[in-house]
């Protein structure tokens, strides 16, 4: 069972993190949308293309100007906290490579005094703790913002803390709510991973069974009575916080938007995520975030 859990954790990271296609892929798709629209909408499409491309180019330019050539991220599976960091890296077009950490031996991070993940290494500097990682990178990328000024934004800080202290804890009980949903999750993992036939069977069934029981313990720990009701309530709470705005940050996502999106992205197309979008008002905001964040900046392993 321990072997199955190890394989499952590693598989989750590989399966849920898309490969890097480069910013050029985003620009090519935007260019096609702009050029091949109908005559009546071509002008609007060109304006949309220009605005979106300028936004992407602007974010990329800021990254280049502060010398962030790339990052190395150490993770153990697709943890929610890595999801927050990943959304930030993707949005600001910071190229990164992922190192999968064995959750038992942790041999890949023996060099570090910090034994939790994610760990991010950029320009030779080790950064730890997802929120601290984002604050540190944000102070280098966001114009006029330091770590202190980012923290002083009370609304943004409040909702980032809500993500870390509440939202992340209701996801696993939903993903593995029952045996069919646990199997759905691990069927997706094994279908998109590099496994032998025997490994696929082991990971799918043993991993799903293990996580089903883990999720029950998490329900008790966090006093969750109805998983779906808790998920729907959280989604509605977030939409209420938007208060009619496109994003919590206004016309553009802020760090809280990226945090919520980052932890929800891995479950979006599982049963729990589909139910969430169907039964709450979060779908429109999520679609805007998908468009704003764009393609993954992850670099494929050679």
pTM score, two decimals?
0.71
Instruction: DSSP for 226-288, please give it.
Output: -HHHHHHHHHHHHHHHHTT-SBTTBSS--HHHHHHHHHHGGGTTSHHHHHHHHHSSTHHHHHH
Q: Could you tell me which CATH number the domain at 2-293 has? A: 1.20.1050.10
Give the number of other Cβ atoms within 10 Å of residue 94's Cβ. 21
Please list the pLDDT of the chain residue by residue as tens digits (302 residues): 434 444 444 444 433 333 333 343 333 333 333 323 333 444 444 444 444 444 544 554 444 334 455 677 876 555 667 889 999 999 999 898 888 776 556 788 888 888 787 889 888 888 888 888 998 888 888 766 555 554 448 899 999 999 999 999 999 999 989 888 988 877 876 675 555 788 778 878 888 888 889 889 999 999 999 999 999 999 999 999 999 999 999 999 999 999 999 999 988 989 999 999 999 999 999 999 999 999 998 887 66
Q: Which residues pair with 72 in a beta bridge?
A: 97, 121
Phi first, then psi: give them for residue 245, nearest 5 degrees: -80, 155
Q: Judge whether 16 and 77 are in contact, CB under 8 Å.
A: no
């Amino acid at each position: 069972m321990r072997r199955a859990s190890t394989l499952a954790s590693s598989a989750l990271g590989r399966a849920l993190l898309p490969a890097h296609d480069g910013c050029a892929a985003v620009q090519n798709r935007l260019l096609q949308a702009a050029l091949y629209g109908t005559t009546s909408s071509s002008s609007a499409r060109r304006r949309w293309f220009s605005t979106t491309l300028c936004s992407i180019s602007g974010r990329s330019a800021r990254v280049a100007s502060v010398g962030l050539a790339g990052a190395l991220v150490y993770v153990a599976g697709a943890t929610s906290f890595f999801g927050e960091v990943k959304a930030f890296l993707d949005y600001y077009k910071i190229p990164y490579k992922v190192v999968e950490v064995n959750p038992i031996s942790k041999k890949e991070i023996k060099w570090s005094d910090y034994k939790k993940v994610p760990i991010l290494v950029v320009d030779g500097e080790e950064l730890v703790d997802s929120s601290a990682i984002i604050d540190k990178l944000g102070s280098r990328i966001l114009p006029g913002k330091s770590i202190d000024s980012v923290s002083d934004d009370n609304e943004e800080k409040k909702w980032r803390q809500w993500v870390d202290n509440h939202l992340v804890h209701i996801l696993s009980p939903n993903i593995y709510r029952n045996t069919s949903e646990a199997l759905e999750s691990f069927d997706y993992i094994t279908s998109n991973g590099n496994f032998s036939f025997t490994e696929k069977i082991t990971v799918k069934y043993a991993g799903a069974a293990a996580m089903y029981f883990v999720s029950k313990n998490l329900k008790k720990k966090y006093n969750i009575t109805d998983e779906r009701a808790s998920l729907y309530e959280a989604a509605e709470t977030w939409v209420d916080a938007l208060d009619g705005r496109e994003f919590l940050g206004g016309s553009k996502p802020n760090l809280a938007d990226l945090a919520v999106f980052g932890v929800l992205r891995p479950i979006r197309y599982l049963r729990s995520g589909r139910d969430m979008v169907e039964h709450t008002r979060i779908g429109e905001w999520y679609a805007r975030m998908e468009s704003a964040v764009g393609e993954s900046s992850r670099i494929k392993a050679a």
